Structure 1
C-alpha cells in the first residue's frame, strides 16, 4: 500500500467514524456537524483517489467550519443541552487525535512530495484537516466549559487559557 492509498483508507475510516457520531447525535445540532465532517472526509478520499488514478481534479474552497458556526447560532439553551453531551467527550477527543494524526501525515507527505500537483493536494488536505481539528478543539472546550460559552455559543477563534 503506497502513501496515497493509505491516506484514502484513513479518510474512509474518518468518514465512518463521523457518520457513527452523527447517528449518536441524531437528536441534536451536532448531527449536522458530524455529517458535514463525514462528507468532507468522503470528498478528501475522492480527491486522493483521483490523484492515485491520475485523473484531473480541482481543489475548491471548503465551507465546513463556517457551516458549523451556523449550526450553533440561535439554538436555545446551550447550558442544558451540553450538560447531556459530556459522556461523549472521549469520542470528541478521539476525533481530535484522528485529525491531528491526519495533519501530521499530510504535512509529512507534503514535505516529501516532489510533484507540484500532489504537493498542492497535500497542502490543501493539511488545511482541511486543520479546520476539522479546530472544530473538535472548540467542541471539547464547549463541552468542558459550557458556562463560558453560553452567551455566544458558536464556534470560532477562542482565546487560549
Structure 2
C-alpha cells in the first residue's frame, strides 16, 4: 500500500470514528463538534485524492467547524438551562473523548513519521499539511476532555473546592 492509499484509508476511518462518537453523544454542542471533525476528516480525504491526482495546488480552507454555535455568543445566563446542561455534560462518556484524543495524537506522530520517509517533496508537503490539520484536532479534543474533566470535578465538589479559572 502506498502513502496515498494508506492516508486515504486512515482519513475514511477517522470520519467513521467521529460519526460513531457523534451518534453516542448526548450534548448537542459536542455532537456538532464531532460531526464537524467527521467532515474535516472527509476534507482531508478530498485533499489526498486531489494530491494523488497530481493537483498539488493550494488547498482552500474550509473549516467544517465554522457552523458550530459559539456557546459564548449568547451573553444571557439562564439558570434553568444551566441546570439541564451540567447533568448532560456530566453524562458524556469522557473515555470516548480521551480515546479520540489519543488517536489524534497518534495521527500527528504518524504523519510526521511519514513526512520523514516520503519519497518526494510533494508527499512530504502532503504529510506535513495533514500533520498540521491533525494537530488542530488534538487541540480541540484536548479542550473537550479538559472541559468534561472540569465539569465532573465541579459537579462532584462544587461547594468544597475552588477550581482555577479557565
* TM-score normalised per structure 1: 0.77
**CA deviation profile, 1:21-64 (whole Å, cap 9, x unmatched):** 22223662111101110010011111112222324443233535
**CA deviation profile, 1:91-148 (whole Å, cap 9, x unmatched):** 1111111111110111112222353332222111111101111111111111111278
2 CA distance for matches of 1:136 and 1:49?
Answer: 26
**Per-residue deviation, 1:17:** 0.8
Instruction: List alignment gaps of at least 5 residues for structure 2.
Output: 156-163
Q: Which residue of 2 aligns with 1:130?
A: 135
Rg larger in structure? 2
Q: Which residue of 2 aligns with 1:51?
A: 51
Q: Which residue of 1 aligns with 2:148?
A: 143
* Number of matched pairs: 148
RMSD of equivalent CA atoms:
2.8
Between 1:24-33 and 1:8-17, the stretch displaced more is 24-33
Match of 1:82 among 84, 89, 93: 89
Match of 2:113 among 95, 108, 113: 108
2:4–2:52 CA contact under 8 A, matched in 1: yes
Q: Which residue of 2 aligns with 1:155?
A: none
Instruction: List alignment gaps of at least 5 residues for structure 1.
Output: 151-158
1 CA distance for matches of 2:104 and 2:112?
Answer: 12
Decide whether aligned partners of structure 1 residues 36 and 149 sit closer, same or farther in structure 2, where only a CA change above 3 A counts: farther
